[in-house]
Chains A and B, each alone.
Chain A
Amino acid sequence: MRKAELSLSALVIIMVCFLGSCAVIEKGAGVLGDTGTISARDRDAITKTSKVVRKTFADINEEEEYYIGRAVAALILSRYPVYNNTALNQYINYVGNGVVFYSDRPETYAGYHFLILDTEEINALAAPGGFIFITKGLLRRCKDEEMLACILAHEVGHVSAKHGLKSIKKSRLIDAFKILGEEALQRYGPEELAQLTEIFEDVLGDIVEKLIERGYDRKYEYEADKLGVRFAVNTGYNPGGLADFLQTMVDDASKVSGKGWFKTHPSAEDRIERVSKEIVSLKSIPPPESVRTQRYKRSIKSLK
């Protein structure tokens, strides 16, 4: 009888623990709600703690990055016209997304999208979240798909490593997170909205200044080169495409020299040296394929 009592009490203890843990799990699942989404009440509870937890660029969520990226892209597009060539833009998106698949960060809030800018300036730009631009001038310098893929891979590297978000001044984020942490409303009141919009504008200013005017810190460019080489190789492209492209920029005396990439990037010679070292350290290097060069030449024919 005592044994039966013992086992019964053991069972009761287990059930209590089990139900207790279920409650923990349920609390967790409750955050997601019945439909698997975050409930309004729990959203409020979590945001109330955000004042303490959210501090740096790394705490900017995917959706916020998307909205920052959209506005940075809009500002880039207010400076450069779009090259409205559907087929060529489509091709760029094939090459770009191929590299994205084999990158460190293949999925962002709304995915990666690539667009050609109608300027002879040599430039490629990446806005946070995956809005990537390449100029007609840069495309003209590409001799094959390997070169194009390596340049796009460099830009994907900037997005993957969140270099745009890292360019935001810390004080802006502290101000923004302070406003966001103090209130748990679903929608902002006029005062909060005005404050946040002002910070948003400053955030965009920080990123655009680096992207277009001053360029990222050198260490970010070197990192993007390194990532670009790795992503291109993972996809199956010959990484020599990046060094080949950079070579076209050495001692450039054309009209576009001093603008775009020339202005915002470290010297081509310096980058070639680093990229070459990176390539030498690779275990295996995919060879270029003529089938890719042929399709590149077919696609680029429509470039006017």
Chain B
Amino acid sequence: MKKPLFLGLSLQAFGTLILVTILLAKVFIVRIQTTHLRKEPKFYAQTLTVLKAGESVEQISAQNGWIQVKTPKGLVGWIHTSSVAERKFSLTGLAQPLKYEASASEVALAAKGFNEQVEKSYRASHPGVSFAWVDKMLKIKIPSSQMKIFLQKGKLGEFRRAK
């Protein structure tokens, strides 16, 4: 007689634990073209993988504008808060048809808006406005390893002289 009760209670506790864990998990969506999942909370830290716009990650911890996250593939690393938007779940009305509330940021994330198609249309009617240097400008990229050396040599960031 005691066994089913014990089993029931254990399962109940287990179920509650899973439920609480899921409810507390914060999910973030990448809102920029790409962001790097880094080994440490620093922009010049080693890249573990590159995350694309719309990909989701789950928060583990947070510190000074950085979030430690887990990807759906199980990779754990750090991303900066400015690269993501928080996903909000609506947990009201379990008995009713389940629905979520679209926050302003989610709506903005999903919206079409001013996009490549609008730019193409604008360019067609303004042939005098050249985007050639804009595209060249976008290609100027500083590798994070080089950036680290630049900061280090210039005694900047974490490498500044102690007072």
> Which positions in A face B, CB cutoff 8 Å?
1, 3-4, 6-8, 10-11, 14-15, 17-18, 20-25, 27-29, 31-32, 35-38, 42-43, 45-47, 49-50, 53-54, 58-64, 66-68, 70-71, 73-75, 77-78, 82, 89-90, 93-94, 97-98, 101-102, 104-111, 113-115, 131, 145, 176, 180, 185-188, 193-194, 196-197, 200-201, 203, 235-237, 284, 286-287, 289, 291-292, 295
Contact = CB atoms under 8 A, between A and B. Distances in A.
Given A50-B111, A235-B157, A108 B32 contact: yes
A98 B128 CA distance: 34
Interface of B: 1, 4-5, 7-9, 11-12, 15-16, 18-19, 22-23, 27, 29, 31-33, 35, 43, 52-56, 72, 80, 82-83, 87, 89-91, 94, 98-100, 102-119, 121-122, 125-126, 128-131, 133-134, 137-138, 140-142, 146-147, 150-151, 153-157, 159-161, 163
A197 B15 contact: no
B118 A193 contact: yes
Contacts of A78: 128-130
A3 B5 contact: yes
Contact of B125 (A50, A73, A197, A237): A197
A93 to B, nearest CB: 5
Contacts, number: 265
B15 A14 contact: yes
A295 B154 contact: yes
A149 B33 CA distance: 26
Please report whether the interface of chain A is mostly helix, strand, loop or mixed according to DSSP. helix
A106 B79 CA distance: 11
Contacts of A31: 87, 100, 106
Nearest to B53: A63
Contact of A73 (B32, B134, B154): B134
